[in-house]
């Protein structure tokens, strides 16, 4: 290909880029008009189902060669920026910056949202309950280390709902000031991250104490102030806190996925590809477990997850957390839940929300 042919093709790209900018601004003006109508009519600012509809329609239309995941990422930022023209969303998360919870929030809400770092999962719930944040992002389970118990416990007394789920591929890195493993005399991280890297730590740093930190990003921050300390955290945290990677991708599983929940005052309308989460406590009787699961089996509802936690109210009293396919507005889901309710001391629908891609 001659240099002139390259220049001609680049000119076409420049023309397309110019048209894209003009179209994005035209789109933004329409978004602003919609925002004025929402404000006048006192309608919800953020409609997650509309975003899901846009992403589904565009990915179905995309025949390539532009990558599908990249298209979703590009439109995530377009949607985030468009919403910020009306008012930036406030999203509370387990901070400080560069935690995996922060990264999950950015994956869900884009860079234009306003992120509010807090000290604990309880604080995330508090920010949303008090109306200081539109949404909160909390971890719920990891494919290697299991459920995040504290998040489950928060739902027992909170009236907040699950409005979305986020699946984030997690890579753990050992980092310190020098980038040398031999300089690490102690390690800061959170318990789930340490559990995800147990085999690597036993092989490469046997006997080195692993100390608890409030979050992986806070662990990196602590290691930045101590030349003898290392941290297990994200690559983003290493960059943010000026650390060097001493061990890259040290998680034991090659498929290390963490699931996060988005919490809000209410859950979205059905999309046709939803999940529903409930919590309940059953009466202690013979065949209680069978009674609990039978309504879903008989209705042909697929169950995704079941956890049990002590209620904290009396000995041997448990609260169950159940995820199922479908939306609470689906007839068979609603009927199965009502059948279960008859055999429960209490039952709460935590939310129905779109399944994460």
- Cα 171 to Cα 256: distance, rounded to the nearest angstrom: 7
- Cα 147 to Cα 26: distance, rounded to the nearest angstrom: 45
Judged by phi (left if over 0) then psi (alpha if -120 to 50, else beta), residue 316 lies in left
Strands lying side by side in the sheet with 173-176: 210-212, 186-189, 229-233, 173-176, 244-247
Give the angle 320-322-257 at the CA atoms, nearest 5°: 115
> How many CB atoms neighbour CB 52 within 10 A?
19
> How many CB atoms neighbour CB 277 within 10 A?
24
Strands lying side by side in the sheet with 303-310: 303-310, 318-325, 274-282, 344-354
> Among positive and negative, which fits the CA dihedral 77, 80, 85, 88?
negative
Measured in residues, the chain has a length of 357
Residue whose C-alpha is closest to residue 165's, from 151, 175, 153, 182 = 151
Residues 6+ apart with CB under 8 A from 119: 95, 214
Q: Which of 99, 189, 216, 258 is flagged as catalytic?
A: 258
> Among positive and negative, which fits the CA dihedral 230, 235, 241, 245?
positive
- Cα 161 to Cα 276: distance, rounded to the nearest angstrom: 11
Q: 260 an active-site residue?
A: yes
Q: Which of 100, 109, 125, 260 is flagged as catalytic?
A: 260
Q: 258 an active-site residue?
A: yes
Query: Which residues are catalytically annotated?
Result: 258, 260
């Amino acid at each position: 290909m001659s240099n002139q042919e390259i220049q001609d093709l680049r000119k076409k790209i420049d023309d397309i880029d110019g048209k894209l900018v003009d179209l994005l601004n035209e789109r933004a003006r329409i978004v602003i008009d919609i925002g004025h109508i929402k404000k006048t009519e006192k309608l919800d600012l953020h409609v997650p189902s509309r975003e899901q509809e846009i992403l589904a329609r565009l990915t179905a239309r995309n025949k390539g060669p532009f990558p599908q995941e990249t298209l979703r990422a590009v439109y995530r930022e377009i949607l985030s920026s468009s919403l910020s023209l009306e008012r930036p969303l406030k999203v509370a998360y387990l901070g400080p910056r560069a935690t995996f919870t922060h990264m999950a929030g950015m994956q869900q809400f884009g860079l234009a949202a306003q992120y509010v770092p807090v000290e604990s999962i309880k604080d995330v719930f508090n920010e949303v309950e008090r109306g200081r944040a539109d949404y909160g992002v909390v971890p719920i389970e990891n494919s290697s280390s299991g459920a995040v118990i504290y998040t489950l416990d928060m739902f027992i007394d909170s009236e907040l709902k699950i409005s979305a789920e986020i699946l984030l591929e997690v890579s753990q890195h050992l980092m310190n000031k020098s980038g040398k493993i031999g300089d690490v005399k102690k390690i800061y991280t959170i318990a789930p991250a340490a559990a995800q890297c147990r085999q690597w730590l036993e092989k490469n740093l046997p006997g080195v104490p692993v100390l608890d930190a409030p979050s992986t990003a806070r662990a990196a921050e602590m290691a930045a102030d101590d030349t003898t300390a290392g941290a297990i955290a994200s690559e983003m945290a290493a960059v943010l806190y000026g650390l060097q990677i001493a061990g890259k991708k040290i998680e034991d599983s090659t498929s290390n996925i963490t699931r996060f929940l988005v919490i809000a005052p209410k859950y979205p309308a059905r999309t046709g590809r939803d999940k529903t989460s409930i919590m309940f406590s059953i009466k202690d009787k013979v065949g209680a477990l069978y009674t609990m699961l039978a309504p879903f089996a008989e209705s042909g509802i697929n169950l995704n997850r079941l956890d049990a936690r002590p209620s904290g109210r009396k000995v041997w009293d448990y609260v169950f957390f159940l995820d199922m396919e479908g939306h609470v507005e689906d007839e068979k889901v609603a009927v199965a839940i009502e059948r279960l309710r008859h055999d429960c001391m209490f039952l709460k629908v935590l939310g129905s929300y779109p399944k994460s891609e």
